[in-house]
Structure 1
């Protein structure tokens, strides 16, 4: 593209607000930036900027052209970063967040395994059941579970995850098993971090608000309450599979089980090709499914 340098200069001027700031960013002179933008406008045959002594403003044509050129430059820089990262070792600080119980049981051990392979890397692991803001709080990677909401973030599926609605046989001796989602209103629902349970109904994903006398932000505590007959709980496979096999828990509403759940790594778009991010996620994709399978196969003590 003959006017590529002009496009880069134009985008930086608009993004940074002045010709001087764009010149500093690109390590050239103010006059060089001005000439490149002027030449670009001449080649296009349209003015892109209104210039005053203190400010610049985009013309209508400039607004349209800037939006497309910004996407083009971002894509080009992502492509360069992707190629560069192939030769890089992960370095710097990796900021990671995950839900507490899942993080303690599965993610933290894998983090430690990854750091043994890459001792030059620093890790900041934050375990919380709060929904963090990935960009505003400065995270490189956040592990999320379930069905993802629409987002500008990049997501990569790490492994499958199924959630089961379960209770103990003792509980069902006192209360009849539910056969429809509507019947949940008649049951004591044990609530974890969220008071909405996920289901698939006629091919559509639904989140159903439940209520009950018990709530805690701990998966193990929720499992213990279900085993002791305190009510119905919705729990992931790695918690309940051994107890379903032993008969200590009984699954209900299986035909409404959400099929689009999973474990995901989400990240800002501009960080997805960084070596520390890409290699860490590759490591999780390789090793996390095996850890979850082992947990599901473990016999209940």
Structure 2
């Protein structure tokens, strides 16, 4: 096995998370795969992987090497296509990290379109409402909501989602409609918690003065899917990014209030490791997600809730 094949095997091990899975894909035994990566480490004079009985973890050097190695393999595949050899279409695995609600509502229902257009590409979706380390976990792309703090990543802003205040018509019929943020103290408010702290609701009136409401209710959660479900179950008023409840607003299952009071707006961004660069398959996935947002959320024929960039 030559050096390029050794690098390709190392990338497979990282992306599959085990020597056994990478070995099966490469058509070799697990022991041979382990020895091949060990030989690569010996050649480089550094350890790339920390091996334990439970899982593999990249060293700091391994993370940097993986980013460059993955880019090298993508560039090599592009050169083969340019020269008329190998595949004529992009191929390989795209690992994408998404929030649970966003993946369920927008990516998975439309994923068949992407897979039909790109038969050589496979998708591995990591679902979590917490941000994960892209390089350490071998993730190509993350769709993130809110301000970005990691300067080591490269980001492409896809849209901005306003924070809106909604509940079911049934709830409003029973308890009335709040006409200003101060009236929320008389309502059941479903709060979002982050690290066990309740996130306040921020509004801005016509005079520009911010009004902060600390939601108080009998139910709260740290998961957007549960907040959405609570609103639909008539448990109270919720204050959420518009994309989370766009289908229900369009159908009338939920009703928006306090629209005269401006709330904050959160960006939706595609984020990928800057050292790896933007490969063809990752760019195609970003364009796919961007198209979904523009069609299902930004366009007038969709929900028309978000502002596209």
CA 1:244–1:235 in structure 2 vs 1: closer, same or farther (change >3 Å)?
Answer: farther
The structure 2 residue matched to 1:251, chosen from 257, 265, 276, is 257
- Please give the alpha-carbon distance, in whole angstroms, between the structure 1 residues aligned to 2:211 and 2:142: 24
Q: What is the deviation of 1:281?
A: 1.1
Q: What is the deviation of 1:190?
A: 0.8
CA 1:248–1:264 in structure 2 vs 1: closer, same or farther (change >3 Å)?
Answer: closer
- Please give the alpha-carbon distance, in whole angstroms, between the structure 1 residues aligned to 2:269 and 2:188: 30
CA 1:110–1:241 in structure 2 vs 1: closer, same or farther (change >3 Å)?
Answer: closer
Map Cα deviations across residues 115-136 of structure 1 (whole Å, 9 max, x no partner).
2222222221122223222222
TM-score normalized by structure 2? 0.56
- Please give the alpha-carbon distance, in whole angstroms, between the structure 2 residues aligned to 1:147 and 1:204: 22
2:115 maps to 1:115: yes
Q: What is the deviation of 1:217?
A: 5.5
Q: Could you tell me which residue of structure 2 aligns to residue 55 of structure 1?
A: none
CA RMSD between the two structures: 4.5
CA radius of gyration, larger in: 1
- Please give the alpha-carbon distance, in whole angstroms, between the structure 2 residues aligned to 1:165 and 1:108: 26
Q: Could you tell me which residue of structure 2 aligns to residue 296 of structure 1?
A: 303
8 Å contact kept, 2:164–2:256:
no
Q: Which has the higher helix share?
A: 1
- Please give the alpha-carbon distance, in whole angstroms, between the structure 2 residues aligned to 1:152 and 1:205: 33
8 Å contact kept, 2:155–2:272:
yes
8 Å contact kept, 1:242–1:296:
no
2:199 maps to 1:196: yes
Q: What is the deviation of 1:139?
A: 1.0
Map Cα deviations across residues 242-280 of structure 1 (whole Å, 9 max, x no partner).
548849524126423213x23211111023322221222
User: Could you list the runs of 5+ residues in structure 2 that have no partner in the other structure?
Assistant: 1-39, 45-67, 83-87, 305-309
Q: What is the deviation of 1:113?
A: 2.1
Q: What is the deviation of 1:235?
A: 2.7
Q: Could you tell me which residue of structure 1 aligns to residue 291 of structure 2?
A: 286
**Aligned residue runs from structure 1 range 106-255, under 5 A:** 106-149=106-149, 151-168=151-168, 170-171=171-172, 174=175, 177=178, 179-180=180-181, 187-192=187-192, 194=194, 195-197=198-200, 199=202, 201=204, 210-216=215-221, 219=224, 221-238=226-243, 239-240=245-246, 243=249, 246=252, 249-252=255-258, 254-255=260-261
- Please give the alpha-carbon distance, in whole angstroms, between the structure 1 residues aligned to 2:246 and 2:291: 23
Match of 1:108, SS state, is: helix
Map Cα deviations across residues 146-204 of structure 1 (whole Å, 9 max, x no partner).
33335321111223322211234544763672634x76566432134644256465889
CA 1:281–1:215 in structure 2 vs 1: closer, same or farther (change >3 Å)?
Answer: same
TM-score normalized by structure 1? 0.57
Match of 1:162, SS state, is: strand
8 Å contact kept, 1:167–1:227:
yes
Size of the aligned set, in residue pairs, is 226
Q: Could you tell me which residue of structure 1 aligns to residue 270 of structure 2?
A: 265
